[in-house]
Amino acid sequence: MTRRLLCALVFSCALSAACAGGPGRGPASPSGAPAPLLPRTASELPDFDPERFDQLLAELRGTPVLLNFWGSWCPPCHDEMPRLVEAHDQFGDRVQFVGIDVVDSRPEARAFIAEYGMAFPSVFDPPDAIKDYLGLFGQPVTVFYRANGERFASYTGPIPEDLLRRNLRAIAG
């Protein structure tokens, strides 16, 4: 009898874990669907890895996306961020901006976000695994995706104003 009870308990726990959703998915929404992965605020900084990043890109399919890999410790990122904040003000209603904070600490990252008035969401990737997964190098890196999910362009280093706006116009339609 005890063995049956133990087996039933193990089965019940395994079933509960399986029904709770895969790793990296947020808690279920009131409708029972997984909560969106895109952070609601700029300073939320949830942990992301390549698998969760792929889930986010799939969730954003249908919307053009600008990704920017940055770190509070990165002098070129400080140079570039005012351009990105201004571009977000102009294009943020047509293009989803997503920052990916790498090799950083949350307190320093949140101070950087506040310093530049970043309104677009960022995710937290301390080991820099997402950039490696995408085959990108250097810091900062900006990547543009078309609404269909196809990578359109990428730029390593602080992106020049004219190239930033030209690529945003191209993906925004």
Domains and CATH numbers, the chain: 40-172 (3.40.30.10)
- In the predicted model, is pLDDT for residue 127 greater than 80? yes
Q: Of 95, 84, 86, which Cα lies nearest the Cα of 140?
A: 84
pLDDT in tens, 131-166: 999 999 999 999 999 999 999 999 999 999 999 999
Q: What is the pTM of this model?
A: 0.81
Which one has a higher pLDDT value, 19 or 50? 50
pLDDT in tens, 69-111: 999 999 999 999 999 999 999 999 999 999 999 999 999 999 9
Residue 149 DSSP one-character state = S
What's the whole-number mean pLDDT along residues 32-45?
84
What's the whole-number mean pLDDT along residues 51-78?
97
**CA 30/CA 20 separation, integer angstroms:** 14
Rounded (to 5) percent helix, strand, coil in the chain: 45, 20, 40
Average of per-residue pLDDT values in the chain = 86
